[in-house]
Structure 1
């Protein structure tokens, strides 16, 4: 993942970028939310500064032995984009230790302010190195699709986020859950796919593939081009969470979530009850 600070000396990275990265890292370590990081920048920060903060903490994760397995796409809802005053999605890095097995339990206290959304995940069989990727490129590159639950989380107190805050905070990544039956794109129309997500047996969110930037394919094409432009393209084997198909739902201790996406199947996760041992 490239930024304007890639080739700079460590001491040349703006102090505010380091301070913002430190604030988010400390929130992760202590499991205590922090104020919005945008307040650390005189002008509230901009997109490239936010990605620089994100990259600094991603690099710290890699240095600590974590492994990147793909990317997530956020802000794929036009309504949310308008709310934040932006006209494009954002992205974050997915680490292997963010994966939760289908049907497993999220440990009590593991996350700060979790919310759950249902998505379509792609797993790539080919690299996507071009700066102007097309849907045809993507169709050739995707090995298979899976139903997914993304458990988003924010280190920023009360989800008081701007675009700068969420990008800096690794696009509000938390955890993710994948279904276990891979489906080739020749067997599913991801744009027309219908999604229903329940929370403890009650419908909490509904939507279709068209609610994700018109199609999850469009979202993945945007990501492929954006990452190639930054010199860090999607590669064979990468996982891509393409964005929410419907509204995200807050998660509380003891909740159980299940999403069904037509032609792709179901995926489930539960949250440990309050007071459960870690």
Structure 2
């Protein structure tokens, strides 16, 4: 897939630019380093510039052997938006290096400050290309629906960032796992599909699919339309993570987390040993 870039904002003289921020983010990811937001030094790093950085790092990931397998949405729920102080969703890339095998612990040795959240996950049966994609059109392109969990891990200290920062950071991507149950979308009312969040045996949160833009299909449509603006489409066979249904929970070593869906089974993660 050819990966394009949005037009970046100008960088201050002697400061950061698209190439240097992209390289620094991959260095932080590879070396488990956190840093202040780039917008502290480059306030003109806006959303389109962040996406240009994201796309450049996707090309780097593909050049080093990773495979593009889908997209993820970030900050689709009101709970996540309120926590992060950002008020609209983001689209980012998924590669095969982000797949967490079922039963494996959260990979603490390569992450900075991981959090986990429940997600409704789509496996695409058809290509979906914007603009103008509606929820109904988006859902007609879905082959199956799964419960899942995403491990997020911002490269920014204290998960503090602006829209440009988080877009550049591939929407805090780290890893994801899908559950044991996949169903046709026609078998589910996704606005009512619920998830309970259990940490060390105690239920700490819950939400339904309505928390994700009113319906996860709306998030899928948003992704298709946003990617069209950037010259991309969602391809058949891709995985789409529609965004955290609840606020994310920290998962330090020794922690056990379970996400229990109404019809999509349960997904379990453990924090490992550190």
Same fold (TM over 0.5): yes
Distance 1:79 1:267, change over 3 A: closer
CA drift of 1:5 comes to 4.9
2:74·2:91 contact (CA, 8 Å) conserved in 1?
yes
Quick one: distance in 2 between partners of 1:31 and 1:83? 23
Pairing 1:36–2:37 present: yes
CA drift of 1:132 comes to 0.9
Distance 1:223 1:178, change over 3 A: same
CA drift of 1:185 comes to 0.7
**What does 1:58-207 align with in structure 2 at a 5 Å threshold?**
58-78=58-78, 80-81=80-81, 87-207=87-207
Aligned to 2:219: 219
Quick one: distance in 2 between partners of 1:257 and 1:208? 18
2:81·2:88 contact (CA, 8 Å) conserved in 1?
yes
User: How many pairs are equivalent?
Assistant: 266
CA drift of 1:46 comes to 0.8
CA drift of 1:37 comes to 1.6
Greater shift, 234-243 or 71-80, is seen at 71-80
CA drift of 1:182 comes to 1.2
2:190·2:216 contact (CA, 8 Å) conserved in 1?
yes
Quick one: distance in 1 between partners of 2:4 and 2:205? 35
Pairing 1:2–2:4 present: yes
2:152·2:175 contact (CA, 8 Å) conserved in 1?
yes
1:117·1:151 contact (CA, 8 Å) conserved in 2?
yes
Quick one: distance in 2 between partners of 1:77 and 1:107? 25
Quick one: distance in 1 between partners of 2:130 and 2:88? 19
Quick one: distance in 1 between partners of 2:5 and 2:121? 26
Aligned to 2:266: 266
Distance 1:73 1:190, change over 3 A: same
Quick one: distance in 2 between partners of 1:266 and 1:83? 25
CA drift of 1:139 comes to 2.0
Aligned to 1:21: 22
Quick one: distance in 1 between partners of 2:134 and 2:30? 40
Aligned to 2:12: none
1:123·1:143 contact (CA, 8 Å) conserved in 2?
yes
Quick one: distance in 2 between partners of 1:226 and 1:50? 14
2:92·2:171 contact (CA, 8 Å) conserved in 1?
yes
Quick one: distance in 2 between partners of 1:33 and 1:107? 17
Quick one: distance in 2 between partners of 1:107 and 1:217? 30
SS of the residue aligned with 1:144? strand
CA drift of 1:122 comes to 0.3
CA drift of 1:113 comes to 0.9
CA drift of 1:64 comes to 0.5
RMSD value over aligned CA atoms?
1.9
Quick one: distance in 2 between partners of 1:245 and 1:26? 30
Q: TM-score, normalised by structure 2?
A: 0.91
SS of the residue aligned with 1:223? helix
Distance 1:107 1:75, change over 3 A: closer
Distance 1:87 1:33, change over 3 A: closer
